[in-house]
């Protein structure tokens, strides 16, 4: 199973690396967009799957970072991608902390609605704030340089590879975090907060930390989207962005690596349908509903594996251990 | 001597109902106190207030002389309080070893490290394997807790609770759903952890409680109606009265 997974991952990676080489700049940009949605999906997925917190407000962090990245270039004269990225993510985290302190006390539907409310408050602010363009959005954003890397973000393929690298780094970072002692504590809190509290863990600290990490990832997505479109607007903070992140996370199921794949696939399907019919949004809605209602494939595969193992164990019971034999004697 | 755990004049009122009324219990280090009484006597509520899961309406909780009334459960745990729950409260989606590891690593400076591989905390996993061997649970090391038989879950819950340093342990019906022999095995396991460990346990098996406890507190309608050594409590008529319904009549 591990080999199959590694093989599939290698094929997917080779395919992603090959995209700019075998397609035109339009398709390259389309997949770049899919990858930025993949970053947002990873952010929401992490919170949903690891902390059992369904956020419907990650547009708040996506949008704050989008505006920060735009302002960094247009107003603050910062021209380096890595500096603007770091600054935008930092600002996003600063916004995320107070929101996390309020929302992580909640769970389920209450959490979902309050995160939505925060995002809508920020969207309303962006709509009325003339200094950031109000309802017209932030225009005149240029793509920054990538020093010390010899790349030009004006070239679609270069931009593509930067986003791909960022996506891979973020995904690997999540894999590391999930497999760490910190990830173990988050999994424990997802299972039973009173038990973890009785073991001396401060639930609030860990939930806030997970929330801020997730917000930072959404911020990375917002930065990439702004430089992709050379534009930030209040809709970056809107419910449709949050819904997209949540839907990607739900459709992807239990697998982290399915998140970027789902995001890219949905982006391509959206584009294909939009060229075929004016009712494409309705069709996308139907696809979302049908796919979300399908049983989770990765969970089913895991269940099947467990079932097979149990059957095998039942047919071949383990040899009694020496210690057991001594005891029975 | 300073009490390891002291509940001073604890009352709990929800709406107009008195769940506990002016309860005082002082436990010396190493004491094994059974909390008994009929259903609705307020035993679990009292235990939850001692653990910090519920706030008392009035009264104070002390641990080794320090007022912990306002401390949340995780801070009481860091001061050495462990507990089990009336309904088994483990982490069902995690394996037996992972459940234990989270307890063992809770004192480690690496417990919140987000960049180190969990499996690389050698000292934690070695201790986990040691505990599993002692409890004869090595065979189910990598089994999800949700797949464990109930008896093993109860046993694991106790081991998880005491796998971290603790001086006081609160056991809420550790033998619930188990035979008397299994319940006794679990309690004997806890009492064998050290003479300094202070244990408060709720049990409906009166005979077992009297046999294993050094002190017994009888609760009825939220109040302490008897308190003392098992012989002292047994000498009175209070148990017959409350269990046969004559008390207060």
For every one of its 329 residues, what pLDDT tens digit does chain A have, with 9 covering 90 and above? 778 888 988 999 999 999 999 999 999 999 999 999 999 999 999 999 999 999 999 999 999 999 999 999 999 999 999 999 999 999 999 999 999 999 999 999 999 999 999 999 999 999 999 999 999 999 999 999 999 999 999 999 999 999 999 999 999 999 999 999 999 999 999 999 999 999 999 999 999 999 999 999 999 999 999 999 999 999 999 999 999 999 999 989 889 999 999 999 999 999 999 999 889 889 888 887 887 777 655 555 555 556 666 666 666 654 444 444 333 33
Flag if A187 and B90 touch (Cβ within 8 Å): no
d(CA B82, CA B65): 17
User: B103-121: buried (b, 16+ CB within 10 Å) or exposed (e) per residue?
Assistant: bbbbebeebbbbeeebeeb
* Residue B82 contacts A where some CB pair is shorter than 8 Å: yes
Per residue in A128-179, pLDDT (tens digit) is 999 999 999 999 999 999 999 999 999 999 999 999 999 999 999 999 999 9
**Nearest CA to CA, how far is A182 from chain B (Å)?**
4
Rounded to two decimals, the pTM is 0.89
Task: Closest CB to B92: pick one of A191, A194, A213.
Answer: A191
Task: Calculate ∠ Cα A165-A169-A174, nearest 5°.
Answer: 150
Q: Where are the beta strands (DSSP E) in chain B?
A: 5-14, 17-27, 32-36, 58-63, 66-67, 81-83, 168-172, 198-202, 215-220, 223-228
C-alpha B218 chain-centroid distance = 17
**Nearest CA to CA, how far is B25 from chain A (Å)?**
21
Cβ neighbours of residue A19 closer than 8 Å, sequence gap 6 or more: A27, A28, A31, A160
Task: Closest CB to A199: pick one of B121, B139, B164.
Answer: B164
Contact list, B139 vs chain A (CB under 8 Å): 318, 321
For every one of its 249 residues, what pLDDT tens digit does chain B have, with 9 covering 90 and above? 789 999 999 999 998 899 999 999 999 999 999 999 998 899 999 999 999 999 999 999 999 999 999 999 999 999 999 999 988 899 999 999 999 999 999 989 999 999 999 999 999 999 999 999 988 899 999 999 999 998 899 889 999 999 999 999 999 998 887 888 888 888 888 888 888 899 999 988 888 889 889 999 999 999 999 999 999 998 888 888 887 765 544
At A164, list the tokens.
């791909």
Contact list, A185 vs chain B (CB under 8 Å): 102, 111-112
d(CA A184, CA A206): 11
A:B CB pairs within 8 Å: 107
The rounded radius of gyration (Å) of the Cα atoms in chain A is 22
Flag if B91 and A188 touch (Cβ within 8 Å): yes
Smallest CA–CA distance from A197 into chain B, residue? B74
Q: Is the ipTM of this complex over 0.85?
A: yes
d(CA B203, CA B173): 5
Task: Closest CB to B111: pick one of A181, A187, A203.
Answer: A181
């Amino acid at each position: 199973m591990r080999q199959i997974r590694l093989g599939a991952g290698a094929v997917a990676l080779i395919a992603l690396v090959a995209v700019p080489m075998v397609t035109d700049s339009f398709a390259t940009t389309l997949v770049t967009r899919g990858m930025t949605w993949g970053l947002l999906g990873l952010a929401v997925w992490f919170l949903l799957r690891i902390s059992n917190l369904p956020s419907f407000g990650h547009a708040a962090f996506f949008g704050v970072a989008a505006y920060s990245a735009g302002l960094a270039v247009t107003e603050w004269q910062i021209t380096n991608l890595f500096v603007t990225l770091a600054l935008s993510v930092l600002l996003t985290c600063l916004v995320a902390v107070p929101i996390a302190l309020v929302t992580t006390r909640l769970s389920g539907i209450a959490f979902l609605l309050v995160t939505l409310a925060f995002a809508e408050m920020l969207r309303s602010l962006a709509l009325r704030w003339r200094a950031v363009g109000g309802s017209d959005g932030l225009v005149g954003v240029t793509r920054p340089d990538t020093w010390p890397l010899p790349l030009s973000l004006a070239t679609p393929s270069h931009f593509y590879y930067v986003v791909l690298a960022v996506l891979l780094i973020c995904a690997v970072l999540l894999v590391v975090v999930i497999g760490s002692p910190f990830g173990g504590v988050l999994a424990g809190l997802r299972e039973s907060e009173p038990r973890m509290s009785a073991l001396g863990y401060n639930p609030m600290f860990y939930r806030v930390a997970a929330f801020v990490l997730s917000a930072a990832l959404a911020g990375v997505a917002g930065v990439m989207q702004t430089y992709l479109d050379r534009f930030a607007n209040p809709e970056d903070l809107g419910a449709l962005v949050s819904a997209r992140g949540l839907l990607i996370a739900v459709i992807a199921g239990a697998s982290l690596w399915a998140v970027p794949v789902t995001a890219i696939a949905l982006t391509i399907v959206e584009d294909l349908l939009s060229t075929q019919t004016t009712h494409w949004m309705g069709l996308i809605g139907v696809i979302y509903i049908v796919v979300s209602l399908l049983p989770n494939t990765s969970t089913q595969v895991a269940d099947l594996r467990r079932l097979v193992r149990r059957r095998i164990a039942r047919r071949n019971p383990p040899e009694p251990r020496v210690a057991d034999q001594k005891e029975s004697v | 001597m300073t009490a390891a755990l002291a509940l001073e004049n604890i009352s709990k009122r929800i709406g107009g109902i008195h769940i506990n009324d002016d309860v005082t219990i002082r436990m010396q280090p190493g004491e094994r106190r059974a909390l008994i009484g009929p259903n609705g006597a307020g035993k679990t509520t009292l235990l939850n207030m001692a653990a910090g899961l519920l706030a008392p309406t009035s009264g104070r909780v002390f641990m080794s002389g320090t007022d912990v009334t306002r401390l949340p459960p995780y801070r009481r745990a860091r001061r050495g309080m462990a507990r089990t729950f009336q309904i088994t409260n483990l982490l069902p989606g995690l394996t037996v070893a992972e459940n234990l590891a989270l307890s063992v690593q809770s004192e480690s400076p690496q417990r919140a490290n987000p960049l180190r591989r969990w499996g690389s905390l050698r000292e934690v996993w070695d201790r986990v394997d040691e505990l599993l061997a002692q409890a004869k649970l090595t065979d189910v090391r990598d089994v999800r807790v949700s797949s464990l038989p109930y008896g093993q879950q109860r046993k694991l819950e106790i081991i998880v609770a005491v796998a971290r340093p603790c001086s006081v342990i609160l056991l809420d019906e550790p033998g619930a759903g188990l035979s008397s022999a299994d319940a006794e095995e679990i309690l004997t396991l806890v009492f064998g952890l050290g003479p300094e460990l202070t244990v408060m346990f709720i049990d409906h098996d009166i005979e077992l409680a009297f046999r294993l406890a050094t002190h017994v507190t009888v609760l009825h309608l939220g109040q302490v109606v008897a308190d003392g050594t098992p012989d002292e409590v047994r000498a009175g008529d209070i148990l017959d009265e409350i269990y046969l319904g004559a008390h207060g009549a």
